[in-house]
Amino acid sequence: MFRIGDFSRLARVTIKTLHHYDEAGLLTPARVDHLTGYRYYAAAQLETLQRILSLKDLGFSLDEIRGLLERGFDPERMTERLDERRIQLLSSLEAEQARLRRLDALRASLSGAGAQPQSIPVVTLREAAPIDVHSRRQRVASLGVEVQKMFETAEATVAQVRARADASPFLIFHDPEYCEANADVEACIPVKAGAQARLDTRIVPAESIGCVTYRGPYDQTPVLYEAMLRWMERSGLALAGPLREVYHRFGADQSGYRLPNHVLATSSADYVTELQAPVAPLVPTRGE
C-alpha cells in the first residue's frame, strides 16, 4: 500500500490529480481510512494509473477512459475508439500545419516594408457546407442590369413554389480570371432541401473558402479581389474553383417575391457583400 504522496511521486502526477480521478470514479484507492479519510493505493494500481495516463495522452477524455476500462476490456470497442481518435488527430494535425503556414505568411508580411495593422488578414478561411440552389447561368456584357434581372427572375421562380431558404443569394464567376466585361456568370438563390421535385436545382459542393466581407457599393470588388489573391499567395493557397460574390444586404425590386427587411438596403452605401474564393493548399497535405 502506498500513501497518496508516495504514489503520486512514483507516477509523476499531482495529489490533486489522484483526488480528481477518485471523485470521477476512474481510480478509487484500494483502501480509504474511515476515520482520517486517508487514501491508500495498491502497487497494482500504479499500472492502472499508467494505462489511464496513456489513454489520456492519446486524447481521450476521462469519461471515455472510464468507459473503456471499467466493465472489462473490450478490444473491439477500443479499436473503434482508436480509429475515431485517429481521424480526429489527423485532421487536427492538418489544421495545425495550415495554422503554421498562416502564421508564417503573417510573419513574412510584417518583415516587409509596409508593416501596418493592415497586415493582419481580414480574409478568413472556413469550410463551407454544400448548399442547394436554384440558378441561372449566362454570359453578360457587363455586371449591371443584366445580372440584376437574372436574380429577379430566379427569386420570382423560387418564390412561386415557396422554396426560398434563409440564406444570401450569390453570383458565381465562371471565367478563369475575374472580369467585368463579357462575363460568364451564374446567379444562385439558396433553396430549401427537398425542393428538387418542384424546381430545377443544383448543389454547390462543400469547399474550403477564403472570405472577405465589405460594406458599400460593388465597385470595391476588384480591390478586395487583389487583397484576396495576395492573402492566398502568402498563405500557400491556390484558387480551387470559381470565385463568387455573396449578397448579404442589397437593393431589390421585389416584384413577384418578398425578402425579409434586414437583407434590404435602400442606399448602395449600406450594401453588404462578401467575396468568396474556393482554395486548396499549394503544398499537398500529408495524410496517411
Q: Which residues bind a second copy (CB under 8 A)?
A: 6, 9-12, 43, 46-47, 50-51, 53-55, 57-59, 69, 73, 75, 78-79, 82-83, 85-86, 89-90, 92-93, 96-97, 99-100, 102-104, 106-107, 110-111, 115-117, 119-124, 126, 212-216, 248, 262, 272, 274
Nearer residue to a second copy within complex by CB, 82 or 238: 82
Q: Binding partner of residue 50 among a second copy, DNA, none, CB under 5 to 8 Å per kind?
A: a second copy
**Residue 258's CB: how many other CB atoms inside 10 A?**
11
Instruction: Please identify which residue in the block is written with the cell numbers 486548396.
Output: 280
The kind and range of the H/E element at 275 are strand 272-281
Contact by Cβ (8 Å): 242, 174: yes
Nearer residue to a second copy within complex by CB, 28 or 213: 213
Q: Binding partner of residue 86 among a second copy, DNA, none, CB under 5 to 8 Å per kind?
A: a second copy
Instruction: Please identify which residue in the block is written with the cell numbers 480591390.
Output: 223
Q: Does 84 bind DNA (CB under 7 A)?
A: no
Footprint of DNA on 244-283 (CB under 7 A): 261
Q: Binding partner of residue 259 among a second copy, DNA, none, CB under 5 to 8 Å per kind?
A: none
Contacts of 62 (CB under 8 A, 6+ apart): 21, 24, 26, 56
Q: Binding partner of residue 20 among DNA, a second copy, none, CB under 5 to 8 Å per kind?
A: DNA
| Cβ burial, residue 170 (10 Å; 0-12/13-18/19+) | buried
**Residue 56's CB: how many other CB atoms inside 10 A?**
15
